[in-house]
Structure formats: structure tokens, C-alpha cells
Structure 1
Amino acid sequence: MTLSLNDITWHRAVGQLIDALDKPNFWAQLVRLLEQYVVFDSWVVLLFSADQHPQVFAECPGEDGSPDPLFQDYLRGLYLLDPFYIACREQSRTGLYRLSEVAPEHFELTEYYQRYFRLNVVADEVQFNCQLEGERTLCLSLGSEKRFTGEQIALLSLIQPWVLGLLRQRLPYEINETVALAAAPAQTDWRVQLEASVQQLKGAQLTARELDVGRLMLSGCSSKEIARKLEISVETVKVHKKHMYSKLGIKSQSELFSIFLQAQNA
């Protein structure tokens, strides 16, 4: 189905969504509208915040209605390896983003991709990002079992202003989000939590820079990408990697990923 700026059906549906901004079924209604124009297989609405675990506002229902254990792993700590989360934290911008735009060079070779992404998202993902005050980003992510086509991306780009406007206007009605942010204590920096967990699990003390290098490695960044992001030399990256592997008594990224998972669940 094609869409033009003069599409009467689209404008009528957007008007209905505006009327439903304060209704519990708003997110499902928005997703149903998007499904009329672009095919996707999964979706989730998240709030990314600095030093806070992502907060889920809505997500596509599972086949049996029970929580997806893979997604629970994501919320506990795998989100730190998510290219979209990393992009939000490094350069917060409002807009529509595609996986190919934010994924690091070796993303498809990572344990995160093999053991989480391709099983939970499958092939491709796009994300509407609405930047908010307080280093927060409201995100609507769409996952697909097939690569999104150029035509689909063009269509999503065309409707981007409407979707982002609706996301921004919906936020005040997320009562649970407002209460949680006001009541929840500030979360300890992820490096501190991870370092403490690694020390407990392996008896090893990693430096903040070694943790940064390890996380970026697990997210799929090459040594050159890590060096650029951390503003250090490639040789220094290799030294940090060598020291980290030695302290942990490991020889591969697969082993490092397993420790990362254990530490997040500790």
C-alpha cells in the first residue's frame, strides 16, 4: 500500500489516535495503524534513560502471553550491547534510525547478535527516537524477519513527523513512568555494578577502561571503532583486551559474553 500526504484514511486515523492519547490501548492502536502500511513482526515501546534500566511502556504480546525470557535478559543488562541504546547514549537525536545506521562493524559476529538479536528480532530493526529532557529517549522499535526495503524506509520516513509527535504527546499519560522516575532511586553506574559482579564471580578487578573496552567489543565494535570512541590508540585497546582476558582467565569473546551475562544476573 502506498501513502501520500493527501491520504484521507491516514489523516482520519491520526485524528483518532490523537483522541486516544489518554487511552490504555493507544500503543496497540498506533501499531495497528503502522501495520496497514509497513510489514513488521515485533514491536516494543521503551524509555531509555541515563543510568537507568530501560522502562517498557508496551510490547507485542508473546505467543502464549507469558514474558519473553530473552527480552527479560535484555532488560537486565543486554541492552548495554544494543546498537540503538549505545547510539542514544553517545549522540541523542530525534528521528528514525535503521539498524544498518547504528550497528558497529562486527555486529553480526557478536555473541549478542547470535544469542539474542537474531532469535528475538531476527533480521532487521528500525526505531523512532524522541529525545526528551533529562537525557531520556522515548523509542518505538519495529523488528522484522526480513530486511526492510528502501520503499518501506521511505514510507516510514514520510510518516516520521506524525509518529514522533504522537510519541511526544503520549508521554504525559504514562502515569507509571512518571511515578517510577520520581520514586526510584538513582541507579548505580553500570561500570560499578558490573565490576562488583565480575569481582564476585571471578575474583578479578577490572578497571573502568577495561570494562568500556569489553562492552564495546561485545557490542561488535572493531579495535579501530573502540579506539575512536574512547579516544585512545588501537594498540592501547589491544593492551586493555589482553589484560582483561588475563585477569578473567579467558581466551575468547564467547567466554567474555558468558561472564557478562552472569554478572548482569548476579
Structure 2
Amino acid sequence: MDAVTQSENDEVLADAIIALGTPALPQHFSRLLKQLAAFDNLIIIAYHGEHRPAVLYREYTDPVVYLPMDSQYLGGDYLLDPFYREHLRGNVQGIRRLRDVAPDHFRRTHYYQNYYQQTTLLDEVAVFANITESDTITACFGRDRSSGNPFNRRELEILHQYENTLSSLLQKHWQDYRVDDVGKAPPAPLEERLREALSHQHGIRLSPRQAEVALFILRGHSSLSISLHLEVSLQTVKVFRRQLYAKCCISSQAELFALLMPLFARLAEHK
């Protein structure tokens, strides 16, 4: 990085530090990010355990990028978001690129084809800041059809050089933030909610393992990926899939998506 750019970044960072604890911090944080890697859109989201996330700030070049956010993403699709799944791992800090944390068959999923493609996003990166054991602030910024190009390797290298600084700014600014659901008991595990919804809506009674495999498929995991996560053989996963399809009276992954995705509004934890 040349001396002029380093000096500019230092000045923008200083302004962001001064803005900590004030309503101006998101704009200064955005300006700092743009110095490191220009983006088309930015959204800052608070996650609290498995409760519904809250949007704290957003900006965009093309408004289409966030048109499905409130109805679809917050309506339940967040449950399949790789960044949300990353949050659930706990104590996650620093930079994550969506394509690096997404499952191997992510682009084949209903979530990708019916939500993510609507946004016109081509690439997305998130800064994670762990606030408490269950609270995470993420600043997700992306490239969409406005610029038409993904982030390049040099931009990602620079972002990683600043990842501790970026996470610390979010962590310090929102250190006392708690979502409205903080006093509520955590929702039942997602597998259990899926089993209950399927039984209630369609009279289909899945075993816990079958529900778990169904969710892995919805998130975009191949059979091989599922076998690695569950630490079982590939053949065992294929047996689970056949049992799942038989119980649901379906014969394809597309039919599984069609059956299960309408249930996700019911699976989301409502305020």
C-alpha cells in the first residue's frame, strides 16, 4: 500500500474512532471500508442467538439489492444464510467471504436461486464482531450489478490486514447493544421446529436425523459434505436421503425445496 493511501486510511480511521458511540459511526465505518475495498452496498445486522436478526443500518447504490430483505430474509430465509450459520458457531471475529463459508452446493439451493439472485449480488464479504456469548454484529458489504465485478485478491488482502481494526470498531460501538428478544427463552432447535411444522401442516413425521439431513440439503450441502459434518459414511447419508424422500412422498431435491421452503416463515422466531 503506498504512503498516500496509508495516510488517507489513517485519517479516515481516526474519524471513525472519534465517531464511536455516536449515530455517525456507521457512515464513518462505511467510509473506511470504501477506502479499503469499494463496495455497492452495506448492511449492518445484529444477531442474537437463534432469534430473528435486526437490521441496524443499510446503504446501497441500487435499491433492488435490499428489496427482498424485510419480507424474505427477515421473514425466515436468514435461517439458511451462510453468514447466519457462521454466527451460530459462536465467538466469530474478523473477515469472512460468502463463497468461502457457503456449502459446496449453495448455488443449487432454493435460497440462492429465489432470494440471493434477486439481490443481484455477485460477491459479499462480512466483518464479524462478537459482542457477547450469543450476540454478533455483522457488517455485510457486497458488489452487485451496479459495478458488475467481484472483489479482487488485492482488495481481500487489504481487508484482512484491517480485519481486527474493523471488528474492534463494531465491537466497541455496539458493546452495550442488545436486541429486543434478549429476555426471551431461546427457541427450540431448528430441527425440532421443522419436524413440528411438517407434522402440523402435512402430517409428515420425520426422525430428528431425517430433519437434520433435510436442513443440510436446504443449506446447500452435497451428500459428501453432509457425511463429513455428521461423521457418517456417504452410503449412510444416501440411506437417510432415501428415507426422507420416501416419508415426504417426493423424488427430487427440487420437490424437497418446494415442500419445505413455505414453512420457513413458521420456523423463524417471531418477536
Common fold: TM-score over 0.5: yes
Structure 2 matches for 1:58-207, cutoff 5 A? 58-60=57-59, 68-90=67-89, 92-120=91-119, 122-145=121-144, 146-172=149-175, 174=177, 178=178, 180-207=180-207
Cα separation, partners in 2 of 1:241 and 1:70, compared to 1, 3 Å: farther
Q: Aligned equivalents of 2:207 and 2:17: distance in 1?
A: 49
Structure 2 matches for 1:32-43, cutoff 5 A? 32-43=31-42
Q: Aligned equivalents of 1:238 and 1:9: distance in 2?
A: 55
Aligned residues: 262
Provide the identity percentage: 27
Structure 2 unpaired stretches of 5+: 267-271
Q: Aligned equivalents of 1:68 and 1:89: distance in 2?
A: 25
CA RMSD of aligned residues (A): 2.6
Q: So what's the TM-score if we normalise by structure 1? A: 0.86
Aligned partner of residue 53 in structure 1, secondary structure: coil
Q: Aligned equivalents of 1:120 and 1:167: distance in 2?
A: 25
Quote the offset at 1:5 in angstroms: 9.6
Q: CA offsets per residue over residues 190-248 of structure 1, 9 Å max, x none? A: 22222222122221011221121111112221111101111222122112211222222
Cα separation, partners in 2 of 1:234 and 1:41, compared to 1, 3 Å: same
Q: Are 1:62 and 1:68, in contact at CA under 8 Å, matched by a contact in 2? A: no
The residue aligned with 2:244 is 244
The residue aligned with 1:10 is 9
Amino acid paired to 1:188? A
Cα separation, partners in 2 of 1:232 and 1:13, compared to 1, 3 Å: same
Amino acid paired to 1:96? I
Q: Aligned equivalents of 2:103 and 2:249: distance in 1?
A: 26
The residue aligned with 1:46 is 45
Q: So what's the TM-score if we normalise by structure 2? A: 0.85
Quote the offset at 1:168 in angstroms: 0.8
Amino acid paired to 1:215? L
- Return structure 1 stretches of 4+ with deviation > 6 angstroms: none
Q: Aligned equivalents of 1:227 and 1:30: distance in 2?
A: 40
Quote the offset at 1:92 in angstroms: 4.4
